[in-house]
Amino acid sequence: MKNKDIILLGIESSCDDTSVAVIKNETILSNVTASQDVHKAWGGVVPELASRAHQQNIVPVVHEAIKKAGITKEELTAIAFTRGPGLLGSLIVGTSFAKALALALNIPLIEVHHMEAHVLAHFIDGQSDKKPSFPFLCLTVSGGHTQIVLVRDFLDMEIVGSTKDDAAGEAFDKTAKLLGLPYPGGPLIDKYAKLGNPNAFQFTKPKVSDFDYSFSGLKTNILQFLQKNQKVNSAFIQDNLNDICASVQKTIIDILFEKLIAAVRHFDIQDIAIAGGVSANSGLRTKLQEEGKKRGWHTHIPKFEYCTDNGAMIAITGYYQYRAGNFVDQRIAATARWAVGSKE
């Protein structure tokens, strides 16, 4: 007899995207995202505005996801939601909604770790020829995290390196702010970098032990570099925007890869993946392909739409949790801090 299909709703609300997906087994039926433009004027995500926008968006986004999937809510097997880590007020919106819907439909509730979900985005349908084999190493780079993750199995991950201060996405966004670009600056730096010379300017690289990272020094270095050059030419940024973006992007990618290569050697693993919002960066994607070719790695790059925050990655992680029988009850609460691989 054929096993019954598992149809899950995945709800993501950890930062500034309200995103909901419907998955049938490992196939995404819909993935709907409402991004929040309200933060642009403030140069970064304003937590209180984010919570409010999630509250406005959640019901329409869920409706749209269910409609696009061509199902009714009564067909859902379970509800998966991001419990953390992230902005507490934002997480509470998705968590409360997921709890209420699971209660109303009398179906199981599944908690999902946001960073584990970024990694598992690699297992979403349509990427079957590219699915990593276990164990693999995943460089997970987002606005809040920078981690080298040793992935032993779907739900068995260990962080072997992480940032001591700023995340790689923050390095992109803070640099963009110094250059007068709007939030989020990462995609804009990527855009201008394509037109510039990556060797035009040199920036200092941090000295951090093992497979860990640090990006706060780079920000200071860039600030001092800009101030020095603006004293001589007040239009320095406008005159050199493409070269500055290309040089900063190259520096961030070089920093990321120095430790990734060291970790690959240490763990002697050949399946290497990237994930998280910064894995949408064209320079980082090209670099992984180039290094992989040179070093004989099997490289894995997520589909563009599954790099930045999305409900689909929550739904696929929920699917593996469902198969493992991992459910939570109505006393569950969102958490701003939550280490990969731990219970809390």
Long-range contacts of 41-48 (CB under 8 A, 24+ apart): 42/183, 43/177, 43/182, 43/183, 44/173, 44/177, 44/183, 45/15, 45/16, 45/87, 45/183, 47/87, 47/88, 47/89, 47/90, 48/89
User: Which member of 12, 116, 166, 309 binds Zn ion (CB under 5 A)?
Assistant: 309
CA distances from 303 to 15, 126, 223, 238 (A): 20, 9, 34, 33
Based on CB atoms, which residue is closest to ligand KG4, 7 or 93? 93
Q: C-beta of 141: minimal distance to ligand KG4 in Å?
A: 8
Based on CB atoms, which residue is closest to ligand KG4, 243 or 309? 309
- Which residues between 80 and 109 bind Zn ion (CB under 5 A)? none
Residue whose token pair is 């995207």: 17
Q: C-beta of 331: minimal distance to ligand KG4 in Å?
A: 26
Based on CB atoms, which residue is closest to ligand KG4, 24 or 300? 300
Q: C-beta of 89: minimal distance to ligand KG4 in Å?
A: 16
**Tokens describing residue 329:** 């009850």
CA distances from 172 to 41, 168, 201, 206, 268 (A): 18, 7, 16, 16, 30
Based on CB atoms, which residue is closest to ligand KG4, 240 or 249? 249
**Partner touching 299 among Zn ion, ligand KG4, none, CB below 5 to 8 Å by kind:** none
- Choose one: 90-98, 247-255, 303-311, 322-330; the region binding Zn ion (CB under 5 A): 303-311
User: Does the footprint of Zn ion cover residue 17 (CB under 5 A)?
Assistant: no
DSSP of 219-232: HHHHHHHHHHHHHH
Give me the residues that bind ligand KG4 (CB under 6 A), please.
15, 142-144, 169, 172-173, 184-187, 190, 276-278, 280-281, 308-309
At 27, give phi and psi (nearest 5°).
Answer: -105, 125
Residue nearest to Zn ion (CB): 142
Q: How far apart are CA 281 and CA 232, in angstroms?
A: 32
> How far separated are the first and last CA of the chain, in Å rounded?
38
Contact 79, 102 (CB under 8 A): yes
Q: C-beta of 114: minimal distance to Zn ion in Å?
A: 6
Q: C-beta of 172: minimal distance to ligand KG4 in Å?
A: 4
Based on CB atoms, which residue is closest to ligand KG4, 162 or 229? 162
**Partner touching 278 among Zn ion, ligand KG4, none, CB below 5 to 8 Å by kind:** ligand KG4
Based on CB atoms, which residue is closest to Zn ion, 57 or 142? 142
Based on CB atoms, which residue is closest to ligand KG4, 14 or 299? 14
User: Which member of 82, 95, 142, 317 binds Zn ion (CB under 5 A)?
Assistant: 142
At 138, give phi and psi (nearest 5°).
Answer: -125, 120
Q: C-beta of 271: minimal distance to ligand KG4 in Å?
A: 21
Q: C-beta of 154: minimal distance to Zn ion in Å?
A: 18
Q: C-beta of 156: minimal distance to Zn ion in Å?
A: 20
**Partner touching 169 among Zn ion, ligand KG4, none, CB below 5 to 8 Å by kind:** ligand KG4
CA distances from 92 to 39, 78, 79, 83, 335 (A): 19, 19, 15, 8, 8
CA torsion through residues 113, 117, 120, 124, sign: positive
Based on CB atoms, which residue is closest to ligand KG4, 5 or 37? 37
Q: C-beta of 143: minimal distance to ligand KG4 in Å?
A: 3
Residue nearest to ligand KG4 (CB): 277
What's the burial of 251, exposed, middle or buried (CB within 10 Å: 0-12/13-18/19+)?
buried
Q: Quick one: which of 77, 35, 80 has its CA closest to 315?
A: 80
- Interface residues with Zn ion (CB under 5 A)? 142, 309
